């Protein structure tokens, strides 16, 4: 996809501070990191979001996320780490190429919380509907 910024980076046509690469995936620092060590991990092939990734590429991407996350933990020694993949504009996805953010976190960092203080209530009716869906659409 020539109009996709991440496809260009994955193909080596656009510059990025790459920190990891395997046959299917690439990890690099974003232009505007949220924290020291913030890293993006992408599949080199174009997929819109994680829903679009078939099984083997999704497994490969998650292995790369685990590898890079472990490297960040050893290198930076953060107190924690957020692993975030947004799907769709309503979830704050701005580049429509599947990607995972690894964001190292430290106590009292400036990043702030990622969850609202007044969470939604999920009742039995929604749990029942979800269980039915997963039984009929699962592997």
Phi-psi region of 108 (alpha: psi -120 to 50; beta: other; left: phi over 0): left
The answer for residues whose C-beta is within 8 angstroms of residue 28's C-beta and 6 or more apart is 9, 16, 17, 18, 19, 39, 40, 42
DSSP label at residue 37: T
Cβ atoms within 10 Å, residue 133: 10
Greater confidence (3 vs 58) lies with 58
pLDDT digits (tens, 9 = 90+) for 72-113: 999 999 999 999 999 999 999 999 999 999 999 999 888 777
pLDDT digits (tens, 9 = 90+) for 41-66: 999 999 999 999 999 999 999 999 99
pTM across the whole model: 0.88
CATH architecture, range 5-137 = 2-Layer Sandwich (3.30)
pLDDT, position 1: 47
The answer for residues whose C-beta is within 8 angstroms of residue 85's C-beta and 6 or more apart is 49, 50, 98, 99, 100, 101
């Amino acid at each position: 996809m020539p109009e996709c910024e991440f496809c260009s980076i994955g193909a080596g046509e656009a510059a990025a501070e790459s920190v990891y690469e395997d046959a299917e995936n690439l990890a690099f620092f974003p232009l505007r990191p949220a924290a020291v060590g913030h890293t993006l991990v992408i599949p080199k092939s174009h997929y819109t979001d994680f829903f679009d990734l078939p099984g083997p590429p999704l497994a490969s991407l998650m292995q790369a996320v685990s590898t890079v996350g472990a490297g960040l933990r050893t290198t930076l020694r953060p107190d924690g780490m957020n692993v975030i993949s947004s799907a769709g504009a309503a979830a704050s996805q701005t580049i429509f190429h599947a990607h995972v953010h690894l964001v190292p976190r430290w106590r009292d960092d400036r990043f702030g919380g990622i969850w609202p203080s007044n969470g939604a209530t999920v009742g039995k009716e929604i749990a029942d509907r979800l269980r039915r869906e997963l039984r009929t659409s699962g592997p």
